[in-house]
A and B are shown apart, each in its own frame.
Chain A
């Protein structure tokens, strides 16, 4: 099966600019996740979707981050405006509706904010 696709692979922007990331999950996976992984740390969940509804966005900085999952398939994550501390790898993952099932991760988007 095709894996989780993410784009772009790398992005460099200046602080206060905007940026958007795209994710195409594995076909048929109901759940979709965005994680932020700062260098040297484990991934931190930003937002979780089930189909096109939000399950958990408690750790999403909503003043600058937004995410949507139109039609319960693809998803975009946006940062506006970006701060230096947003420099990280943004990982998208998808999974089945079963808490015993593992998640499948994309290769991530590495964001550098200067």
Chain B
């Protein structure tokens, strides 16, 4: 069965320092993986996705994630945090219904705080 585990419920960084949000997945076959961001009182916005192409995926706003099959990980990183990055981040795995459609399984989320 597919699942995702976000290892940190809260992460706090200083502005200008690197960001690392950790995610491990469980999947019986090659998964599609996503990171979504949710700002307060807003809907979820796609940051980036991995779909079995390049293992290093670049997303919006300077974020990137690396798919590591040997570690079953898909950690999200950014070299330098900005105040506007403060939000909740969700790691998501896609369950494929035989190619016809998909179902997203969400992690529990990591709340990122950025200190000035």
Q: Which A residues are closer than 8 A to B by beta carbons?
A: 4, 30-31, 33, 40-45, 48, 50, 55-56, 91, 93, 95, 97-108, 110
Could you tell me if A102 and B34 are in contact, using CB atoms closer than 8 angstroms? yes
Task: Pick from B45-53, B63-71, B74-82 the stretch touching chain A.
Answer: B45-53
B51 to chain A, nearest CB (A): 4
Could you tell me if B101 and A55 are in contact, using CB atoms closer than 8 angstroms? yes
Q: Return chain A residues, CB-CB under 8 Å to B51.
A: 100
Asked, given contacts A48-B103, A50-B101, A99-B99, whether A105 binds B32 with beta carbons under 8 Å apart, the answer is no
A103 to B103, CA, bound (A): 10
Could you tell me if A91 and B43 are in contact, using CB atoms closer than 8 angstroms? yes
8 A-B residue pairings within 8 Å (CB atoms): A33-B104, A41-B109, A44-B106, A99-B102, A100-B51, A100-B102, A103-B104, A105-B44
Q: Return chain A residues, CB-CB under 8 Å to B100.
A: 50, 97
Q: Return chain B residues, CB-CB under 8 Å to A101.
A: 102
Q: Return chain A residues, CB-CB under 8 Å to B44.
A: 43, 91, 93, 103, 105
Could you tell me if A56 and B103 are in contact, using CB atoms closer than 8 angstroms? yes
B73 is an interface residue with CB less than 8 A from chain A: no
Count residues on chain B whose CB falls below 8 Å from chain A CBs.
26
Q: Which of B32, B104, B106, B108 has the most CB of A within 10 A?
A: B104
Q: Return chain B residues, CB-CB under 8 Å to A95.
A: 102
Could you tell me if A99 and B101 are in contact, using CB atoms closer than 8 angstroms? yes
Q: Which single residue of chain B is at the shortest CB-CB distance from A41?
A: B108
Q: Return chain A residues, CB-CB under 8 Å to B109.
A: 40-42
**Known pairs A48-B101, A55-B97, A99-B95 / 8 extra A-B pairs, C-beta < 8 Å:** A4-B43, A31-B101, A42-B107, A45-B103, A97-B100, A100-B94, A105-B44, A105-B45
Could you tell me if A42 and B43 are in contact, using CB atoms closer than 8 angstroms? no
